[in-house]
Amino acid sequence: MSTGVFRVVKLVAVILLIVGGLNWGLVGTFHYNLVEALFGAGLITRVVYIAVGVAAVLILIKKLFMKHMD
What are the tens digits of pLDDT across the range 21-51?
999 999 999 999 999 999 999 999 999 999 9
Residue 70 pLDDT exceeds 60: no
- Could you list the residue range(s) of the whole structural domain that residue 11 is in? 3-69
**Stretch 5-28: mean pLDDT, rounded?**
94
- What letter would DSSP give residue 41? S
pLDDT of the residue at 66:
74
pTM for the model: 0.81
d(CA 53, CA 47): 10
Phi, psi of 25 (to 5 degrees): -65, -40
Q: Are 33 and 23 in contact (CB under 8 A)?
A: yes
Count how many domains the chain has.
Answer: 1
Residue 62 pLDDT exceeds 90: no
pLDDT of the residue at 34:
95
